[in-house]
């Protein structure tokens, strides 16, 4: 892994524009970004001082790489400030648990709370519980997420985290604990944001590691009273500072709408956000540069390093509000750093030939055409929806993504340099086509 890192930044910093970047100098850009962001900044919780440092770091990096019009575009958010997270089983057998608060969790008193645990094997079982049946008790919600190449389990099983706490609160629960939304068997809890229905007061909401969830399920199956002590002291805070970093590689024809490539700069605070999403920022940036190594593209390629994605997609929304100028197409990388295996597109019928060129170019790499339509990702979806943009999705292998997602294990050593490079190559193939297309129609 260390041998992959080559000192290319000095060469790039001296370049007057992206067009003068030598091909070999561009090769290490992706690794330099993901290593630098995770090492020199580290975790980047939305609205935190660390996220602010990440914006400054990103702006300087993009300038050094030869991007133009580099700017930080600030906006305020409602964020979550983590406190003390602790949990332990009191009865029937004393056991310490690995727990993390969910974003926007309600807070316990500093001394914590205790309560009887009511076990629900699924979110559906919780929804079926009578109103008021959880008053003064702690709900535990289980589920059965399994690994999948396309990560498809995250949608339905992620609802346990996104929706479950609000359901438990409506039924009177004192607090709620869930099985982490993940596919690993390590004693690492997975954090992530939850939401609360209008008029529902947030209650303490945490996630325990999968082995600890197994333990709770076994204890619940014994039929004896199960009691839990829980301390989650984090706070939701309004008016925290966040922002996007935006930069351009100008095209030959500035009158043509740009191609937008996105990622998100913030991360959860348990790890250092290597796969989620420093790798994404590394991939899109390196590919944009490499696309122009052989000559300036027809269209401008714009890079968006969005802020505050994890806590609510605020960066993408802020970008769409701030940029009413026309765009041609949008893409995003936010599914780790494993190899691209599938491509999906969304083009107007008139641009079918353009879509076919992309599929053919990637087919040479062994990337298959997927069924269904591309939708972009959280950081680019608002501008896609607003302007009815063409979209290309490059699907990465997600078999192991949810082993690491939102955990302390999201660190640089989990990024395979060879897989990272394969992503850059695939992205470069696509950008070379779309950024040189003289016409890209709206999908409306």
**Core vs surface per residue 194-230: b (16+ CB within 10 A) or e:** bebeeeeebbbbbbbbbebbebbeebbeeeeebbbbb
Q: Where does residue 119 rank: exposed (0-12), middle (13-18), buried (19+ CB within 10 A)?
A: middle
User: Taking Cα atoms as reference points, which of 137, 191, 142 lies closest to residue 169?
Assistant: 137
User: Taking Cα atoms as reference points, which of 238, 1, 194 lies closest to residue 100?
Assistant: 194
Reading the chain (444 residues) residue by residue, the pLDDT tens digits are 333 333 332 222 223 333 443 343 446 999 999 999 999 999 999 999 999 999 999 999 999 999 999 999 999 999 999 999 999 999 999 999 999 999 999 999 999 999 999 999 999 999 999 999 999 999 999 999 999 999 999 999 999 999 999 999 999 999 999 999 999 999 999 999 999 999 999 999 999 999 999 999 999 999 999 999 999 999 999 999 999 999 999 999 999 999 999 999 999 999 999 999 999 999 999 999 999 988 999 999 999 999 999 999 999 999 999 999 999 999 999 999 999 999 999 999 999 999 999 999 999 999 999 998 999 999 999 999 999 999 999 999 999 999 999 999 999 999 999 999 999 999 999 999 999 999 999 998
Dmax (CA) of the chain: 72
Both tokens of 150, joined, read: 């396309």
Both tokens of 402, joined, read: 């949810």
> 335 and 427 in contact (C-beta within 8 Å)?
no
User: Taking Cα atoms as reference points, which of 387, 248, 375, 242 lies closest to residue 323?
Assistant: 387
Q: Are strands 68-81 and 235-249 parallel, antiparallel or unpaired?
A: antiparallel
Q: What phi and psi, each to the nearest 5 degrees, are found at residue 222? A: -75, -15
CA distance 116 to 122: 18
Q: Where does residue 407 rank: exposed (0-12), middle (13-18), buried (19+ CB within 10 A)?
A: buried
Give, in words, the CATH class of 2-80+238-434.
alpha beta
Contacts 24+ apart (CB under 8 A), 1-4: 1/413, 1/417, 4/28, 4/31, 4/417
Measure Cα distances from 250 to 8, 23, 255, 298, 432 in Å. 22, 18, 11, 9, 14
Q: CATH classification of 83-233, choosing from 3.40.50.620, 3.50.40.10, 3.50.30.30, 3.40.630.30?
A: 3.50.30.30
CA distance 214 to 236: 30
CA distance 243 to 285: 18
CA distance 349 to 344: 15
Q: Where does residue 255 rank: exposed (0-12), middle (13-18), buried (19+ CB within 10 A)?
A: exposed
CA distance 335 to 33: 16
- State the pLDDT at residue 15: 32
- State the pLDDT at residue 1: 37
Angle of CA points 110, 112, 117, to nearest 5°: 160
The ranges of the chain annotated as CATH 3.40.630.10 are: 2-80+238-434
- State the pLDDT at residue 444: 86
CA distance 432 to 292: 8
The ranges of the chain annotated as CATH 3.50.30.30 are: 83-233
Residue 321 has a CB neighbour count (10 Å cut-off) of 12
- State the pLDDT at residue 294: 80
């Amino acid at each position: 892994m260390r041998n992959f890192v080559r000192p290319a930044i000095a060469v790039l910093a001296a370049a007057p524009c992206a067009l003068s970047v030598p091909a070999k100098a561009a090769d290490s850009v992706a690794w330099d970004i993901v290593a630098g962001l995770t090492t020199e900044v580290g975790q980047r919780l939305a609205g935190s001082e660390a996220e602010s440092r990440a914006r400054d770091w990103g702006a300087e990096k993009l300038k050094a790489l030869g991007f133009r019009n580099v700017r930080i575009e600030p906006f305020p958010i409602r964020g979550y400030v983590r406190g003390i997270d602790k949990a332990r089983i009191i009865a029937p057998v004393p056991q310490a648990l690995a727990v993390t608060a969910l974003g926007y969790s309600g807070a316990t008193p500093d001394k914590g709370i205790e309560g009887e645990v009511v076990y629900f094997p699924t979110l559906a079982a919780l929804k079926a519980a009578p109103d008021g049946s959880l008053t003064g008790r702690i709900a535990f919600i289980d589920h059965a997420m399994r690994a999948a190449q396309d990560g498809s389990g995250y949608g339905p099983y992620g609802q346990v985290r996104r929706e479950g706490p609000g359901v438990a609160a409506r039924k009177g629960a004192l607090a709620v604990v869930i099985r982490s939304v993940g596919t690993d068997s390590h004693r690492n809890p997975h954090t992530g944001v939850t939401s609360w229905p209008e008029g529902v007061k947030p209650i303490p909401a945490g996630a325990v590691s999968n082995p600890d969830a197994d333990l709770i399920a076994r204890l619940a199956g014994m039929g004896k009273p199960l009691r839990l002590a829980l301390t989650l002291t984090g706070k939701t805070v309004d008016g925290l500072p966040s922002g996007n970093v935006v930069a351009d590689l100008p095209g030959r024809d500035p009158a043509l709408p740009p191609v937008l490539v996105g990622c998100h700069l913030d991360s959860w605070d348990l790890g250092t956000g290597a796969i989620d999403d420093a790798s994404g920022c590394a991939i899109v940036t390196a590919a944009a540069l490499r696309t122009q190594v052989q000559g300036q593209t027809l269209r401008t390629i714009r890079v968006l390093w969005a802020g505050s994605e994890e806590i609510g997609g605020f960066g993408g929304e802020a970008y769409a509000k701030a940029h009413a100028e026309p765009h041609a197409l949008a893409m995003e990388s936010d599914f780790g750093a494993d190899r691209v295996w599938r491509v999906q597109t969304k083009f107007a019928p008139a641009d079918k030939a353009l879509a076919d060129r992309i599929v053919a170019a990637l087919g040479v790499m062994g990337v298959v055409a997927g069924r269904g339509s591309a939708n972009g990702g959280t950081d680019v979806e608002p501008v896609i929806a607003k302007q009815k943009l063409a979209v290309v999705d490059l699907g990465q292998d997600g078999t192991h993504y949810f082993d690491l997602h939102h955990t302390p294990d999201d660190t640089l050593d989990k990024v395979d340099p060879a897989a990272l490079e394969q992503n850059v190559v695939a992205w470069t193939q696509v950008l070379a086509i779309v950024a040189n297309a003289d016409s890209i129609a709206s999908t409306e």
